[in-house]
């Protein structure tokens, strides 16, 4: 239950922090996400999912989206944090998740993107937030390792869609 509340709060922060103009669609999206998560008994399966890669797109010319500097800085710092950590225990994974969570919050807070680039950023960011949230509550080092690998995949893919 904590995870659902935390994830809902993070998604709300993403939607508020990014200054999205279409408030009604955002509200429906949050409600739909909350409903899906509350119906899912295994949050870790959702967190490990990389279906977002089927949704994200390049621009109309097949080029990477231009991201605001702060977004790329936040993703770069997340990659650096992961590279400089070698978690072994549940506590290590949770501490790492806390640092990553700070960076996702930074990205959300500093978001100035609009339009299709912003929409695609959300396709990237929503699953990343879920994965970091799951890592914050990880119960075993084995699950932590799986989640971290999935988070790394998100971060690697960022550079294929944004510049």
SS3 149: helix
140 in a structural domain: yes
Residue 143 pLDDT exceeds 50: yes
Could you tell me which residue, 35 or 83, shows the higher pLDDT?
83
Q: What is the pLDDT of residue 39?
A: 38
Nearest to 125 by CA among 96, 155, 99, 83: 155
pLDDT tens digit sequence for 3-45: 544 444 444 444 445 554 444 444 444 444 444 444 334 455 5
**Rounded Cα–Cα distance for residues 9 and 80 (Å):** 26
Q: What is the pLDDT of residue 119?
A: 95
Domain count along the chain:
1
Q: What is the pLDDT of residue 22?
A: 41
Q: What is the pLDDT of residue 45?
A: 54
60 in a structural domain: no
pTM of the entire predicted model: 0.73
Domain enclosing residue 115, as ranges:
2-50+66-161
138 in a structural domain: yes
Residue 101 pLDDT exceeds 80: yes
55 in a structural domain: no
Arithmetic mean of pLDDT over the chain: 81
59 in a structural domain: no
Beta bridge pairs of residue 65: 162
145 in a structural domain: yes
Q: Find the mean pLDDT for residues 117-121.
A: 95
56 in a structural domain: no
Token digits of residue 78: 């997340």
> Considering only 29-43, 123-137, 140-154, which range has the smallest mean pLDDT?
29-43
**Rounded Cα–Cα distance for residues 121 and 99 (Å):** 20
Q: What is the pLDDT of residue 17?
A: 53
94 in a structural domain: yes
**Rounded Cα–Cα distance for residues 143 and 22 (Å):** 37
């Amino acid at each position: 239950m904590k995870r659902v509340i935390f994830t809902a709060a993070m998604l709300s922060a993403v939607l508020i922090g990014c200054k999205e103009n279409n408030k009604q669609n955002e509200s429906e999206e949050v409600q739909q996400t909350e409903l899906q998560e509350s119906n899912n008994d295994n949050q870790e399966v959702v967190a490990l999912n990389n279906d977002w890669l089927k949704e994200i797109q390049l621009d109309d010319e097949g080029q990477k989206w231009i991201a605001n500097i702060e977004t790329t800085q936040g993703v770069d710092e997340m990659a650096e944090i992961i590279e400089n950590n070698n978690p072994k225990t549940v506590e290590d994974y949770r501490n790492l998740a806390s640092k990553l969570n700070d960076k996702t919050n930074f990205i959300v807070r500093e978001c100035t993107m609009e339009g299709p680039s912003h929409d695609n950023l959300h396709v990237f960011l929503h699953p990343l937030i879920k994965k970091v949230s799951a890592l914050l509550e990880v119960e075993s080092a084995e699950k932590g390792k799986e989640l971290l690998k999935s988070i790394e995949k998100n971060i690697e893919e960022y550079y294929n869609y944004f510049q």
